[in-house]
Amino acid sequence: MKWGCTELSVLLSSTFTAWCNSHLRKAGTQIENIDEDFRDGLKLMLLLEVISGERLPKPERGKMRVHKINNVNKALDFIASKGVKLVSIGAEEIVDGNAKMTLGMIWTIILRFAIQDISVEETSAKEGLLLWCQRKTAPYKNVNVQNFHISWKDGLAFNALIHRHRPELIEYDKLRKDDPVTNLNNAFEVAEKYLDIPKMLDAEDIVNTARPDEKAIMTYVSSFYHAFSGAQKAETAANRICKVLAVNQENEHLMEDYEKLASDLLEWIKRTIPWLEDRVPQKTIQEMQQKLEDFRDYRRVHKPPKVQEKCQLEINFNTLQTKLRLSNRPAFMPSEGKMVSDINNGWQHLEQAEKGYEEWLLNEIRRLERLDHLAEKFRQKASIHESWTEGKEAMLKQKDYETATLSDIKALIRKHEAFESDLAAHQDRVEQIAAIAQELNELDYYDSPSVNARCQKICDQWDVLGSLTHSRREALEKTEKQLETIDQLHLEYAKRAAPFNNWMESAMEDLQDMFIVHTIEEIEGLIAAHDQFKSTLPDADKEREAILGIQSEAQRIADYNNIKLSGNNPYTSVTPQIINSKWERVRQLVPKRDHALLDEQSKQQSNEHLRRQFASQANIVGPWIQTKMQEIGRISIEMNGTLEDQLNHLKQYEQSIVDYKPNIDLLEQQHQLIQEALIFDNKHTNYTMEHIRVGWEQLLTTIARTINEVENQILTRDAKGISQEQMQEFRASFNHFDKDHGGSLGPEEFKACLISLGYDVENDRQGDAEFNRIMSLVDPNNSGIVTFQAFIDFMSRETTDTDTADQVIASFKVLAGDKNYITAEELRRELPPDQAEYCIARMAPYQGPDAIPGALDYKSFSTALYGESDL
């Protein structure tokens, strides 16, 4: 050590002299002047023997200078042999009485033999001594040790050190910070009288110095440290207890976090299941489509975070149980109804409710769409029929035949026959109306009452028309014998015009009929039928011209014979104008039907494109997910390299899976387009969006669980001190006997594995007993299988040691001074405040015969930490 140019203080010389004498008096000698009494080297060698406990070479007793130099050199060589570098300190300077060099040498000795070996929480020398002082004086007010000079001027720190270890020697509460001289003298006198620590400093010198000498303070304080070194045993015991309590507190926080997360997730499941099980249909397509959109939001927005929460909950539960096993604590048992199995049962119920919900929504939309189509068709046919029947009842009730001529009667008969033909033709429409109404009732159409009322009115009116028709025919036939002449031409016109008119009405009805198709084939079938209908139009036009020709011929004959016709054809109300008007209407409706069919064909082509687009992506994503699931299973079995390498590889693998998410999102977008287009099937792929979603969720959960298993293995390895080679050996042995690569061993496979590792579990009485003992550890539930985690836990217990309840009890006994109980004051003195209060709050009162007021039972508390009592 190289010293500065300034002289060391008298205070430092006095301190070093007192320190030397505290050791030399053990050899029965003292020094008066530090730079004079060490000149011959004899007392210097004696000092080194006392403080080191070692023998130095025999000193030379001569009075000559060379003898003194040789003795000092022997002392300096011994100091150097202890790893101390002596810079600029030579034997000649010591022999010559150089005070500066002598004090420097003594300080080097103090550093090496009194301070250097001090170690507190892996610090050493000056930092270790300072940390020891800070920890011992922390509970005392007005004491804040930050250095080895001004922190000690008021004397309270010295008194606190003594009071901490020997409270009966110091009345600390009576000391005042504003009386430093009294404080210092009190500490120095008590230390000298009761602790055998000589007075090394003068109180007035410390108080009157702006900054006391750091080396003098350190020398004095190191004497206190060595005097109280016996108290380190109690401090070590306190550290052990703090470590155990810290583990227990952390586990309690993890348990509370699990309980809260489990409660929140179960509450969400409880709220969601009734919503998914609500299958009350809505009245309109719009309302059902809104329910479908709400369900899509649930699948895209609300459910994915809950999937992550469920996965994280399982990971947290597994990690907590691993930490409890590693710290020799009992397994965590969640509150009733909050087990992982309870959450899985709730989740399974949720997915069962969800499974048929979307299919039900789509079926309901199809049903409502069908209902709307049928309702519109009913209204169209009902309107046409009501339009046709308008005035028919009044017509059938006329008594015009009573005053008619013969020709009039014949005309009335023919007209009535034409009406009957027309009536029969309309019978089919009435049956269609009734059938549609019946189908609407069977499909639970919301407006069925009004449909039924209208249908009933039409049927009742139809029955009246039938009855009136029959009555009129009887009346006409009754007078028919009196009537002979009839205009055959008009009659033929009426007979041909009525069915043609009916055909045109049916054609107009068909051309305006709504249609619903879901495939290209269906629309092409409608187009083919429409083309077939158009091919009949030329023949129909010829029939129209033929019918009009009959009317023209009748008119020509009448004109030729000067016959004055009495207006329109008496046999029919279908005039040529009506035929031409309806024919023109048919011709107008044909191109409109063409456009409607072509538009629907374009729509179905677009839908087919969406099907192929989704199928193309799904046929890539689906096999990719299956391949990744197989690869994860293979990776979890092979597990090459160190656990950290495996963990990094799995996390990289997990990231590659997460990076694939845009492909899932793209598929979701394509699926949404398909559903918006109301496409309900896809022959181009066997994969549905539901398959993809379930596979994706299983893939994320599987990789997360595999990573968690490796993390738990690392935690087990580090906590139990298992080497990487041991872990690889355990994995290799396990995989060797795991023939089906299922990740678990049966009893016979496990026994073979144990035999390969050197365990004596052969098929004899002793071997069977040992094997049964081991099976009770690795398979406490008698499931008949041994997982790799259980196998690692067993091997770690067999090869390592952990804290036990007995060790913690022994540590508390040290703090209690070998008593069977401990007091709150002792806990607060020896433990950090938060952990001391933790113990006080949880320890039961001590009930033994030697109990005192406030005595606490540390034994039951310690066993409770390891699940060995009911505390």
The pLDDT-based confidence of 404 (bands split at 50, 70, 90) is low
pLDDT at 682: 82
Query: What pLDDT, in 10s, does the model give residues 528-574?
Result: 888 888 888 899 889 889 988 887 877 776 566 554 556 677 778 88
Share of the chain above pLDDT 90, in %: 7
Residue 5 has pLDDT above 50, yes or no: no
Residue 234 has pLDDT above 70, yes or no: no
pLDDT at 557: 64
**Tokens representing residue 46 in the block:** 């004696």
Q: Are 506 and 586 in contact (CB under 8 A)?
A: no
**Tokens representing residue 187 in the block:** 């500490």
**Tokens representing residue 457 in the block:** 């009115």
Query: What pLDDT, in 10s, does the model give residues 850-869?
Result: 889 989 998 998 888 876 54
**Tokens representing residue 838 in the block:** 């933790």
Q: Is 431 left (phi over 0), alpha (psi -120 to 50) or beta?
A: alpha
Residue 802 has pLDDT above 60, yes or no: no
**Cα–Cα distance, 103 to 578 (Å, whole number):** 139
- Angle between helix axes 448-480 and 357-389 (nearest 10 degrees) is 30
Spatial CA neighbour of 809 closest among 425, 265, 240: 240
Residue 513: partners with Cβ closer than 8 Å, 6 or more residues away: 377, 380
pLDDT at 650: 84
Query: What pLDDT, in 10s, does the model give residues 724-778?
Result: 777 777 777 777 787 776 677 888 887 888 887 777 777 777 878 888 888 888 7
pLDDT at 485: 36
pLDDT at 870: 46
pLDDT at 756: 78
- Angle between helix axes 156-165 and 180-194 (nearest 10 degrees) is 40
Cα separations in angstroms, 647 against 264, 653, 706, 709, 734: 30, 10, 9, 9, 19
pLDDT at 189: 92
**Cα–Cα distance, 116 to 128 (Å, whole number):** 9
User: For residue 69, which amino acid is it?
Assistant: I
Residue 651 has pLDDT above 50, yes or no: yes
Task: Give the chain's end-to-end CA distance (angstroms, integer).
Answer: 59
Q: Are 382 and 458 in contact (CB under 8 A)?
A: yes
pLDDT at 564: 54
Q: What is the mean predicted confidence (pLDDT) over 233-243?
A: 69
pLDDT at 623: 92
**Cα–Cα distance, 319 to 25 (Å, whole number):** 61
pLDDT at 763: 75
Residue 437 has pLDDT above 50, yes or no: yes
**Cα–Cα distance, 264 to 256 (Å, whole number):** 12
pLDDT at 636: 64
Residue 3 has pLDDT above 60, yes or no: no
pLDDT at 639: 61
Query: If you write DSSP's letter for every residue of 479-512 in order, what string do you get?
Result: HHTT-----HHHHHHHHHHHHHHHHHHHHHHHHT
pLDDT at 15: 81
Q: What is the mean predicted confidence (pLDDT) over 52-79?
A: 83
Cα separations in angstroms, 744 against 283, 323, 561, 741, 773: 54, 22, 112, 8, 19
Q: Is 196 left (phi over 0), alpha (psi -120 to 50) or beta?
A: left
pLDDT at 637: 64
Q: What is the mean predicted confidence (pLDDT) over 102-120?
A: 74
Long-range Cβ contact pairs of 248-254 (< 8 A, separation 24 or more): 248/329, 248/865, 249/835, 249/838, 250/323, 251/320, 251/323, 251/324, 251/327, 251/329, 251/332, 254/316, 254/319, 254/320, 254/323
Query: If you write DSSP's letter for every residue of 502-547 in order, what string do you get?
Result: HHHHHHHHHHT------SHHHHHHHHHHHHHHHHTHHHHHHHHHHH
pLDDT at 845: 93
Query: What pLDDT, in 10s, does the model give residues 342-353?
Result: 888 988 887 887
Q: What is the mean predicted confidence (pLDDT) over 704-731?
A: 76
Task: Using DSSP, state whether 777 is helix, strand or coil.
Answer: helix
Q: What is the mean predicted confidence (pLDDT) over 709-727?
A: 75
- Its pTM stands at 0.40
Residue 738: partners with Cβ closer than 8 Å, 6 or more residues away: 637, 744, 745, 749
Count of CB atoms situated within 10 Å of the CB of 529: 12
pLDDT at 489: 73
Mean pLDDT over all residues of the chain?
Answer: 81
Query: What pLDDT, in 10s, does the model give residues 139-196?
Result: 898 899 999 899 998 999 999 999 988 999 999 888 998 999 998 999 989 988 888 8
The pLDDT-based confidence of 821 (bands split at 50, 70, 90) is very high
Residue 4 has pLDDT above 50, yes or no: no
Residue 782 has pLDDT above 50, yes or no: yes
Query: What pLDDT, in 10s, does the model give residues 269-306?
Result: 888 878 777 767 666 767 766 776 777 777 788 888 88
Return the H-helix or E-strand segment holding 230.
none
The length of the chain in residues reads 871
Domains of the chain, earliest start first: 249-370 (1.20.58.60), 371-468 (1.20.58.60), 619-796 (1.20.58.60), 805-866 (1.10.238.10)
